[in-house]
Amino acid sequence: MKLFSLPYLAYSRIITSMNPIEVISLSFYSKTSRERIKQIHFDVPFLGISTRVNNRKAPVFQLRITGYRHLSIPFETAPRTSRCKGRRFTGTADGVKHYFRCIEGMTGTVLFSNIPKSYFKITNYILDLVRASLSFLVLDLNMIGDLKGFITEPCMKSVSVIEILSETVTAEKLSVFFNNIENPVKNVHIHSKVEGQVPTSMNIFQTEILVFYESSWITREHLLGFNGNILCFKKPHFDIELVIEFIKQWRNGNNTRFIALMMSEVPQKVMDKARFISEFDAKPWDPAKREKRSIYEKEITDVQDITSDLSEGFDLERDDGLLANILVGPPDLFQFFVWHKRFTVAE
């Protein structure tokens, strides 16, 4: 192919300016074209699998190369209404020849194969081609038949962010899904109401950042058993006594990993500032002891839209010297924050 007779800098710029579907179809032209494409660095800021795609009843692999629209691969065969649309090309992935059909939509290109249940093979082919890793999952677990088979696919090892969208999900499904994840996940958001008893040993309670948007199923044991960094709740259902017990557990323990408990839309019965001050003999902010603003600002505000000004909070210190801050912010925001570094070190 004449394209690859050009210097590397020239053909790499041409290829990185292509639409993703053009890059994929070019890779099937020959073994040489595929190997040359694999040598190119692609900036791939968006790479994951989601069930939050319009009019789809299955997960969809989504990829975007900087500056271009999405490429989507639905985990289903093409609907009858689409089987005569778009353009066709052939390609061999993992030793199997596929007849592909690509259809241009409003938000990008949709790619279908004629071979049923080949979506992970095609996904793995594309990940290998652009030398990228799957980064996120946004899923309704009720839309996935074989949860264990899905989450144990080799490409899932790189996933760092998982968002569960199911309106209601059983504890069994949640356990099958999360307990079969091989590598630790950094960030988990759960929107679902959970039916059944969720064991406190489930590995989500060791996640670095864990966010619940529906917390009616969360028990005392779940809260006190959290062993991650940041825990967030929207509309928490527990009372002030449990929040106090959580803080006492931290104060009397030796957990040096914990960073923050953040809650929004908190019931007014929990928003008793005087009770927290009295219970922990908490003191007003002292500028000599810590900064005014959280030095973990970006890490936390990426999880939840909160203020980073902690000067209105009250501080308590435990025996090992770790300082913590309790901020009861009107009208309904609660934050318990641990200062692992009290001051930013000047570079």
pLDDT value at 80 more than 90: no
**Cβ distance 147 to 170 under 8 Å?**
no
Give, for 35, the enclosing helix (H) or strand (E).
Answer: helix 31-38
Percent of the chain at pLDDT > 90 equals 65
Residues with Cβ within 8 Å of 292's Cβ and at least 6 positions away in sequence, in order, are 285, 309, 310, 311
Q: What does the alpha-carbon distance between residue 302 and residue 32 come to, in Å, rounded to a whole number? A: 42
In tens, the pLDDT along 41-79 reads 988 888 999 998 767 788 999 988 766 678 899 998 877
- DSSP-derived pairing of the beta strands 333-339 and 323-329: antiparallel
Q: At how many degrees (to 10) do helices 273-280 and 240-252 cross?
A: 30
Flag whether 21 is in a domain.
yes
Flag whether 203 is in a domain.
no
Flag whether 126 is in a domain.
yes
Query: pLDDT band at 182, cuts 50/70/90?
Result: confident
Helix and strand numbers, DSSP H then E, in the chain? 10, 18
Alpha carbon dihedral 288, 289, 295, 299, in 10-degree steps, equals -160
Query: pLDDT band at 347, cuts 50/70/90?
Result: very low
Q: What does the alpha-carbon distance between residue 317 and residue 281 come to, in Å, rounded to a whole number? A: 10
Query: pLDDT band at 27, cuts 50/70/90?
Result: very high
What domain range is 49 assigned to?
1-132
Per-residue b or e along 108-130, where b marks 16 or more CB atoms closer than 10 Å to that residue's CB? bbbbbbebeebbbebbbbbbebb
Q: What does the alpha-carbon distance between residue 117 and residue 244 come to, in Å, rounded to a whole number? A: 51
pLDDT value at 88 more than 60: yes
So what's the pLDDT on residue 24? 92
Flag whether 90 is in a domain.
yes
So what's the pLDDT on residue 16? 87
- Comparison of pLDDT for 295 and 231, the residue scoring more: 231
So what's the pLDDT on residue 330? 82
So what's the pLDDT on residue 67? 64
What residue ranges in the chain does DSSP mark as E strands? 46-50, 60-64, 70-74, 87-93, 96-104, 108-113, 136-139, 161-164, 168-170, 187-190, 193-195, 209-212, 230-234, 260-264, 283-284, 314-317, 323-329, 333-339
DSSP 197: P
Flag whether 95 is in a domain.
yes
pTM: 0.89
Flag whether 46 is in a domain.
yes
* Average pLDDT for 15-32: 90
The SS3 of residue 178 is helix
Flag whether 258 is in a domain.
no
Q: What domain count does the chain have?
A: 1
Instruction: Show the tokens assigned to 125.
Output: 């082919």
pLDDT value at 238 more than 80: yes
Query: pLDDT band at 344, cuts 50/70/90?
Result: confident
In tens, the pLDDT along 112-169 reads 999 988 999 999 999 999 999 999 999 999 999 999 999 999 999 999 999 999 999 9
Q: What does the alpha-carbon distance between residue 101 and residue 90 come to, in Å, rounded to a whole number? A: 9
* Average pLDDT for 214-243: 94
In tens, the pLDDT along 249-308 reads 999 998 889 999 999 999 999 999 999 999 999 999 999 999 887 765 455 445 444 446
So what's the pLDDT on residue 194? 96
Flag whether 92 is in a domain.
yes
In tens, the pLDDT along 194-213 reads 999 999 889 899 999 999 99
